[in-house]
Structure 1
Amino acid sequence: MKAVLMTAPGNPEVLQMQSIAKPAVPPGERELLVRLVAAGVNPIDTKLRKRGTFYPDNMPAILGCDGAGVVEAVGAAVQRFRVGDEVYFCNGGLGAHPGNYAEYTVVDERFVARKPDKASFAEAAAAPLVLITAWEALYERGRLQPGEKVLIHAGAGGVGHVAIQLAKLKGADVCTTVSSQEKADFVKQLGADEVIFYQQTDFVQAVLNWTNGEGVDLAFDTVGGETFHKTFPAVRVYGDIVTILEPDANTVWKAARLRNLRIGFELMLTPMLQGIVEAQKHHAEILEQCATWIDEGKLKIHVSQTWTLEKAVKAHQLLESGSVTGKIVLLISD
């Protein structure tokens, strides 16, 4: 089968299309052999490509956590799926298990969800990592409740654009930061109640104005760096802030301490990295619920660009440019 292999850590050119053996048939007892139709491209892919995977001894590696495709074979103990089912999932791509920049993959049925009927394979492949990240950050780490006010940084991005929608589905009021009028129009269509042009406006003051000086109940940081600690004064006393990035050594914690903020960290890769099966099953449950919302027209995944598998280098270059709205997807087969 064709697959894009990461041959060594480095620039995008270390991604090379090669022919490798197709996974064995039949797959393991609880596994599915999936013919991949599309694979999502995420920032974790570019970070692993640059610095090396979590398992440097397992090289070359196939990147790509997000996949969508059609079940081609099932293990003897598989109960939830059958040949021909359309599925989507977040699995592999971290170095221990092959990812989805390939024509086929094998995945445990417990970690897989049915593909939304109303979503294309490209949209489905773009969805899992960002949906799970936003869900856990807002609903589980941040304990978001109906009627609360939430600040979502970079609302036009991959995680941000689904976070806005999940917050609105919970009944929250949403404020978000963007860099352009085009992105402002985009997030308003998603339901954002207040849009802040962070390059021209002090976002903290804008949030305080929006909340009558109190601050938001929950802030969701998808940017990191200075943005993380600069957000502390925009959160109400005893409020929550959740980040998907590791705070840097220069983080100024004083405002968070004085406001008694609850700090949450969201890394949806933890279950895969630590082999926590129940948590991986929970991720599939999240995707099942989101599939229902997508089919009901309550949730949309925005794919800004698609590229063929052979163009994985270009996809990485574009993602690293930092100007992408929504998601980039690799198309593998029809």
Structure 2
Amino acid sequence: MASTMKAMVIRRTGGPDVFEEAELLIPEPKAGQVLVKIAATSVNPIDCKVRSGAVAILPPFPAVLHGDLSGTVVEVGQDVRKFKEGDEVYGLVGWTGGEGGALAEFAVCDEQLLAHAPRSLPLDEAAVLPVVGITAYQGLRRKIRLEKDRMLLVQGGSGGVGHIVVQMGKAFGAQVAAAASSDEKIAVVASAGADWTIRYDQETAAQYVERITGGKGFDVVFDTAGGANLPLSFEAARRGGDIVTIAARAIVDLSLMHSKGLNLHVVFSLLPILYGEGRAQMGQDLEAIARLVDDGLIRPIIYPRTFSLSSIAEAHRFLETESHYGKVLVHVQ
């Protein structure tokens, strides 16, 4: 194997044009780590925020970004028990701690942050699942225990997290409504299995709550937009219901939440990567998600336009237009 690899790095924060190609040494796995030859990665909103400097999460420069990956184990470090050379895996690389990111031909990964890739998906497509799958699973299984026949509303149902929440909600036996902003995106949430669809730009919360729940409200609202959208989720929930959000960085009036006795749950799936606690649970969640995929209960929806490692700037620029649906895939090999 060669000693160097191609990578896309940033040496400062800024717009998508800060990405540049670099030749880096292929890292060596330490104890508990494996070296993965990366097949693909995907773009998540957090990747764009890190690149732009909008959040205070940044590995040392020159920084290799992105956490999602799929690929093949080519070398194992000491004390690795879960994987062997040749295993196809998917999961996360702990890029925030200087372990390197997924925008490279190879990465060393903590074995706890990986699982065997779903057998029923092409290996490159598995790369779109880790962040969104873990976020959905933590929200519906770890934060709450979504029960059969509960009424679930997914705000932003055609997005990366949203379309997985729709499918996972159905897999867990819920009755699912999903909101989106265009006819194209409504078709996406319908294909994901939503029982009801909502054009949120054409219906008020009061109107769709009456139409779908008879005015009672939803048992669970999974809000992928957050921020200024949270009060709409409070309005859509039944008294005593649960709100799960992945975007709580906002100043929001909680009066309605208080008066309805709602429970607010925040999911920030990168915490184990940032602080090291809970990494084993992430691996367990990835294993559970792979089983759901192989059981035919989840299938990621990938936007038709895909990108290569060299065109990562275009991939970031495209994601920031918010015109996509599902997930944006980046082929590395």
TM-score of the aligned structures, taking structure 1 as reference length: 0.95
Which residue in 2 is equivalent to 1:282?
Answer: 281
Change over 3 Å in CA distance of 1:224–1:208 after alignment to 2: same
Aligned with 1:246 (options 240, 245, 248): 248
Partner of residue 329, structure 1? 329
The residue that corresponds to 1:59 in the other structure is 61
Q: Deviations over 1:224-277 (max 9, x none)?
A: 22211122121111111011112412x12111000000111100011111110x
Kept after mapping to 1: 8 A contact 2:175/2:195: yes
Task: Decide whether the 8 Å contact of 2:160 with 2:327 is kept in 1.
Answer: yes
Q: Is the 8 A contact 1:205 1:234 kept in 2?
A: no
In 2, the alpha carbon distance for the partners of 1:95 and 1:106 equals 12
State the partner residue of 1:262.
263
Residues 55, 320 of structure 1: alpha-carbon distance in 2 compared, 3 angstrom cutoff: closer
SS in 2 for 1:220: strand
Cα drift, residue 325 of structure 1: 0.7
CA shift for structure 1 position 294: 1.4
Q: Could you tell me which residue of structure 1 aligns to residue 94 of structure 2?
A: 92
Find the aligned partners of 1:194 and 1:66 in 2 and give their Cα distance: 31
Q: For residues 90 and 207 of structure 1, do their structure 2 counterparts lie closer, same or farther at Cα, with a shift above 3 Å needed?
A: farther
Q: Aligned residue for 2:194?
A: 192
Give the conservation status (yes or no) of the 8 Å contact 2:94–2:110: no
- Which amino acid is the alignment partner of residue 292 of structure 2? W
String of CA shifts for 1:295-327, please: whole Å, max 9, x gaps. 222210111132110000000000000111111
Q: Which amino acid aligns with 2:60?
A: N
**Structure 1 SS opposite 2:318:** helix
Q: For residue 135 of structure 1, give the secondary structure of its aligned residue in structure 2.
A: helix
3-state SS in 1 of match to 2:274: helix
Matching residue of 1:16: 20
Indicate conservation of the 8 Å contact 1:218/1:240, yes or no.
Answer: yes
CA contact (8 A) 1:175 1:207 kept: no
Find the counterpart in structure 1 of residue 296 from structure 2. Answer: 297
Q: State the identity as a percent.
A: 35
CA separation of 1:57/1:117 partners in 2, compared to 1, >3 Å: closer, same or farther? closer
CA distance in 2, matches of 1:308, 1:65: 16
Query: Partner of 2:75 in structure 1?
Result: 73
Q: Is the 8 A contact 1:35 1:72 kept in 2?
A: yes
Q: Secondary structure at the match of 1:20?
A: strand
1:63, 1:93 within 8 Å by CA — same for their partners in 2?
Answer: yes
Is this contact kept in 1: 2:59–2:98, CA < 8 A?
no
Q: Across the two proteins, how many residue pairs are aligned to each other?
A: 328
For 1:246 and 1:261, the matched residues in 2 are separated by 15
Q: CA deviation at 1:53?
A: 6.2
CA RMSD of aligned residues (A): 1.4
Structure 1: how far apart are the matches of 2:45 and 2:59?
Answer: 22
Alignment of 1:40-189 (within 5 A): 40-51=42-53, 54=56, 56=58, 58-94=60-96, 96-189=98-191
- Secondary structure class of the residue paired with 2:300: coil
> 76-85 vs 154-163, which deviates more?
76-85
Residues 105-114 or 64-73, more deviating: 105-114
Matches of 2:98 and 2:261, distance apart in 1:
39
Name the TM-score, length of structure 2 as normaliser.
0.95
Distance 1:53 1:214, change over 3 A: closer
Instruction: State the Cα distance separating 1:32 from its structure 2 match.
Output: 0.5
CA distance 1:53–1:232, change in 2 (3 Å): closer
Question: Once the 2 structures are TM-superposed, how far is the Cα of residue 142 of structure 1 from its aligned partner?
Answer: 3.0
Q: Which runs of 4+ in 1 moved over 6 A?
A: none
- Once residues 295 and 184 of structure 1 are traced to their aligned partners in structure 2, the CA distance between those partners, rounded to angstroms, is 26
Secondary structure of 1:136 counterpart: helix
- Structure 1 residue ranges without an equivalent (≥5): none
